[in-house]
Amino acid sequence: MSILQKRGALIVLEGCDRAGKTTQCKKLVELLKSEGHKAKFMNFPDRTTQCGALINSYLTNKDNFTDEGIHLLFTLNRWEAKKQMEQLLNSGTSLIVDRYSYSGVAFSSAKGLDMEWCRAPEKGLLRPDLVILLTLTPEAMSKRGGFGDERYEVPELQKRVMEKFLQLKDDKYWKVVDADKTPEDLSYDLYKSVIDTVHKSALSKLSTLW
Ligand code: Z5A
Ligand code: MG
């Protein structure tokens, strides 16, 4: 008799700068682990790879690329992680991922690139089981302190990016959540959807974008 290996869920958090994506991803991993689930935090861009180092030097204004060039580097940064993600998911580890292809398409198209062109190189990457889009009103955002020094941390661009996220939203597997809560209240809210997705995805097949 074969024993069915349950797979892990691929869960992505997206949203604007300072919405609390990193904080929540890490809290969700802790909560899953505390209930006996295998879970791992991942983030994009992953600045630790060679490609990620180029992205980092672009974001911190030390280097420059064309809009098309940096778009493809962000995509490559996800392609280089695909195999490892697949192996972890198939061995039963849920991945809680801080930004993914949707940031790639939203940021590049907000800068003026054609959205279909931006989507094309993401085709074939793993499709998340759940995407949580964290939103903040401009008032709530202003309470979180000033923008940092990175290239994209300007209000006009962040506003256009949020419009692009809403265009990419697919109601079948997206959930939009107002992030203007304490970190504890927010993770309590998110955990319900996360655990539900972990249970639902366990016996389904992984699929790919788009
Ligand atoms: N980018 C792209 O163009 N193409 C791509 O394909 C990808 C990304 C993947 C760097 O991303 C840039 O790369 C990003 C998009 C672009 N540019 N922008 N903007 P990143 O992920 O490295 O950085 P970020 O997401 O923009 O910023 P962030 O500061 O990491 O935001 P966050 O993760 O959402 O927030 P946080 O670190 O959890 O919290 C921010 C602060 O708020 C911190 O002081 C916390 O203590 C505080 N905080 C967190 N939660 C709360 C709550 N609930 N209440 C009050 N205060 C809170
Ligand atoms: Mg972050």
Please name the helix (run of DSSP H) or strand (run of DSSP E) that holds residue 40, with its range, or none.
Answer: strand 39-43
Ligand 1 contact via 56 beta carbon (within 6 Å): no
List the beta bridge partners of residue 132.
13, 175
Q: How far apart are CA 118 and CA 78, in angstroms?
A: 14
Ligand 1 contact via 109 beta carbon (within 6 Å): no
Tell me the CA–centroid distance for residue 24 and ligand 2, in Å: 9
Q: Which two tokens stand for residue 181?
A: 């809560």
Candidate of 26, 103, 141, 189 to mutate for ligand 1, largest count of ligand atoms within 8 Å of Cβ: 103
Candidate of 74, 144, 185 to mutate for ligand 1, largest count of ligand atoms within 8 Å of Cβ: 144
Tell me the CA–centroid distance for residue 98 and ligand 1, in Å: 9
Q: Which two tokens stand for residue 206?
A: 């992984």
Burial of 176 from C-beta contacts in 10 A (0-12 / 13-18 / 19+): middle
DSSP letter at 45? S
Long-range contacts of 139-146 (CB under 8 A, 24+ apart): 140/179, 140/180, 141/16, 141/18, 144/18, 145/18
pLDDT in tens, the chain (210 residues): 456 789 999 999 999 889 999 999 999 999 999 999 999 999 999 999 999 999 999 999 999 999 999 999 999 999 999 999 999 999 999 999 999 999 999 999 999 999 999 999 999 999 999 999 999 988 888 788 777 789 998 889 999 999 999 999 999 999 999 999 999 999 999 999 999 999 999 999 999 999
